[in-house]
Structure 1
């Protein structure tokens, strides 16, 4: 595989505090009960608006929830985030082989770009692909289709690495094999059911499965 697409949240970085804290902020502003951060980890990975629809029990106030979330996330939450242990060594290894590395995240690229720069990851990635603030390409299938077109990539020569079913299914819908990471937020059953070709327990295992 000469092209590697990495998910961001739950794959390159652990965004738990920033994402769940910003959801708590939005729910509080809406005057609704606020779950604990641990109770909100299922929201890490899926498209944000869909998570608010589920949290609110319908479409009503979902857009306002996203707006309030971004109010906090855009200034505080995106930096409440840490790199996973071993991810830099993995990126060093893959980058040294001459492979093209890309980020492919449902997160809006205006936030994803800032996170990539904050952690000094820009040197590894040819480009960061994310959604638009209006929801365009928030679906992983649409995002990866766009990324393949933009990079003139043969899907048979690419691989997707992610921690949630959305990554695996989005890759499969574009003919891209996928590796599921168990150190993120999806879990073995979710990733296996979605069709992950391989599962890895740590970033250090990723290069071996790509080779």
Structure 2
């Protein structure tokens, strides 16, 4: 008996506060204002879907996000100033214009966010890079790089550790200037697609929706 492989939808990882464009892979050509397109959202830990975009217009339950949401000419979903509350599964659904029936299977996409935190204890500085994501499968690998190399290579003054979706690096503040910190990058690798992203160190607060 053959094991069925788990297929993961496309995944995007961005910083908190960034802008992201999520593609609609099943879009019907010829739409004037995405009048056949509806975008659904299911947040992490929540199984009820919310209509963000309903037939090209901002959904009734997404009014609080209306200043951050829009659709492009090809009906991709644009989210500005991404927050931790935007982490989740997005689905683009196409409807026939007259019949109101679903035209094709949903086109799903996952959105994750990366957060960096700096903590100082006496003279020791600890930097943490972690990713919030929708589901635990289709794992992401997170690690710190210094000048393009793993921090545990040729950097005896640095200590590093990794866990699920996060990585930390610690060092004495007196050994590194701010410029040195800018040489630290958080590398996020998508285990399913193989996509690798590098994020330069920059401490952040958790952006929450108003």
The interval holding the TM-score normalised by the smaller chain is under 0.3
Which of the pair is proportionally richer in strand?
2
User: Larger helix proportion, structure 1 or 2?
Assistant: 1
Bigger radius of gyration among the two: 2
Q: Identify which of structures 1 and 2 has the higher relative contact order when contacts are C-alpha pairs closer than 8 Å and 6+ apart.
A: 1
Give the TM-score, by structure 1 length: 0.27
Q: TM-score, normalised by structure 2?
A: 0.27
